[in-house]
Amino acid sequence: MTPSAETSRDFLQRLGVSGPVLPGTSTGQEFFGAGDESLDSVSPIDGGRIARVPVTTRKEYDRVVETAEAAFQLWRERPAPGRGEIIRQIGDELRRHKEDLGRLVALEMGKILEEGKGEVQEMIDICDFAVGQSRMLYGRTMPSERPEHRLYEQWHPLGPVGVISAFNFPVAVYSWNAMIAAVCGDVVIWKPSEKTPVCGVAVQRILARVLERNGLPEGIFNLVQGGRAVGEHLTSDRRIPLISATGSIRMGKEVAQVAGARLGRTILELGGNNAIILTENADLELALRAVVFGAVGTAGQRCTSTRRLIVHDAIFDQVRDRLVQAYEGIRIGNPLEAGTLMGPLIDSDAVRAMGEALEAVQAAGGELVTGGEVLEGEGYESGTYVRPAICIAENHFPIVQEETFAPILYLIRYTELEEAIALQNGVRQGLSSAIFTTNLREAEAFLSARGSDCGIANVNIGTSGAEIGGAFGGEKETGGGRESGSDAWKAYMRRQTNTTNWGAVLPLAQGIEFDV
């Protein structure tokens, strides 16, 4: 099993990625390569290097921002439907490269090919959504208390928007931000994860082709590469009015502090500790499929992965036994091969974190029911393949309160629905949640104000996987940000309240008299 700059050379070249070592110079909207530091893109499939990507120096970063600021002056003047037309063309370009880009996502991140292609489909879908949004950047007209006055509000673009994305969705989450920000009139500076830099290069070159065909200036979409230092350039930069950051809670707190110190705006999409409640009225055939996908999909490396399963005592043993049986049939291996349901973890650090979590839950008094082994032998030489684990645990265990980015599912008992909801809410994170029940009262209680405290609450559908039409994000330590659909576009714009006096006198609000 070899990934590859070698065996995948053709699709990398079709994406415009020169491998196995990327050149230090670049075209279009990329700026990097003058420094000596570089990132090695390593495939978790077998530990082989895909490419070496130069890290953006401080001098190059400043050049990016200056170019973006200049582009913003032109881009914001283009009518919003005209900006939407460019995004429509980007969507078409992504359609042409869906197979290749999806394969690169699988190669560099390790998710199965179907999920990789699904991630590119998300990019296409958000392009379609953004095209429609470009004709719906609505303001409001309000009644004025003063005669012969018009009171209304309108929305204007912010400027250069910084996007810091995570390795687990190396292309889709960027597009949620970039495509919406672009139709709003903003320009974008993207720092992809240092673990998936080649995906960033590939997307950037796809975008650059569309911009070049339309004679647009460089600087509308921009790419910088690197780790913490480059991220700090963005978050501390007063020229960047908005930072959208996806990652760990620890990282999000740092971003919020640094950006907040300069009164910059943030959209934070941070950790999830997502639970599904299975009531005694659940359709188990439906529920168990959702649980397995939520817990095992992307090897448990989604922010919406199902980490806790809160099960009514009357069905607990049945659910445990059926999950163990289902886990035995999960095919683990090369994510590029048909039939694989779970690929590797991203790297050895993730494997170590999973092992430590399993030790911690058992030390706290929990039971490891199945899984957790690191796989060895032919096809598993990278040391990043594991068996997904099921543990019986208590919600208050310290390790259960944490998000472990790995395929660990904690089974937790309950007897009354109010108890189940309290357990679901009894963590610091608040991203995604779900209940499986055929009882209308149970479903509505879960969705009520006294129910789930998460940004996403589902009935008879799992925690993992969200449509782009709804705003995506969570509460509490998940950060409170919202991306993608609904009215999330407003985060990328500034609201302006306007009053026009079309009369010949100057009445003051609240009836104030002030004669000079």
Domain boundaries, the chain: 4-270+482-495, 274-472
What is the pLDDT, as a whole number, of residue 12? 80
Nearest-angstrom CA–CA distance, 247 and 256: 12
Question: What's residue 465's pLDDT?
Answer: 80
For residue 11, the model assigns a pLDDT of: 80
Looking at residue 2, its pLDDT comes to 45
- Read off the tokens for 265: 């705006």
Q: Which residues contact 206 (CB under 8 A, 6 or more apart)?
A: 15, 16, 90, 93, 94, 97, 101
Active site residues: 269, 303
Which of 488, 445, 372 lies closest to 126, judged by CA? 488
Q: For 274-472, CATH number?
A: 3.40.309.10
Check residue 24 and give its pLDDT.
Answer: 37
Cα(488)–Cα(240) distance, integer angstroms: 19
Torsion angle of C-alpha atoms 192, 193, 196, 198, degrees rounded to 10: 30
pLDDT the model gives residue 513? 85
Q: State which CATH number among 3.80.10.10, 3.40.50.261, 3.40.605.10, 3.40.50.300 fits the domain covering 4-270+482-495.
A: 3.40.605.10
Question: What residues contact residue 194 under an 8 Å CB cut-off, 6+ apart?
Answer: 39, 225, 226, 227
Residue whose C-alpha is closest to residue 432's, from 312, 290, 330: 290
pLDDT (0 to 100) of residue 466: 82
Q: What is the spatial distance between Cα 354 and Cα 287, in angstroms, rounded to a whole number?
A: 25
Q: pTM for the whole thing?
A: 0.94
DSSP letter at 242 equals E
Residue pLDDT tens, the chain, 516 long = 344 445 566 788 888 886 545 543 333 334 445 567 999 999 999 999 888 999 999 999 999 999 999 999 999 999 999 999 999 999 999 999 999 999 999 999 999 999 999 999 999 999 999 999 999 999 999 999 999 999 999 999 999 999 999 999 999 999 999 999 999 999 999 999 999 999 999 999 999 999 999 999 999 999 999 999 999 999 999 999 999 999 999 999 999 999 999 999 999 999 999 999 999 999 999 999 999 999 999 999 999 999 999 999 999 999 999 999 999 999 999 999 999 999 999 999 999 999 999 999 999 999 999 999 999 999 999 999 999 999 999 999 999 999 999 999 999 999 999 999 999 999 999 999 999 999 999 999 999 999 999 999 999 999 998 899 999 999 999 999 999 999 999 999 999 999 999 999 999 888 888 877
What is the pLDDT, as a whole number, of residue 35?
62
**320 is written with which tokens?**
């445990």
The pairing of strands 242-246 and 221-223 is: unpaired
Q: What distance lies between CA 491 and its chain's CA centroid? A: 16
CA-to-CA distance for 288 and 296, rounded, in angstroms?
A: 12
Distance from C-alpha of 321 to C-alpha of 288, rounded to nearest angstrom: 11
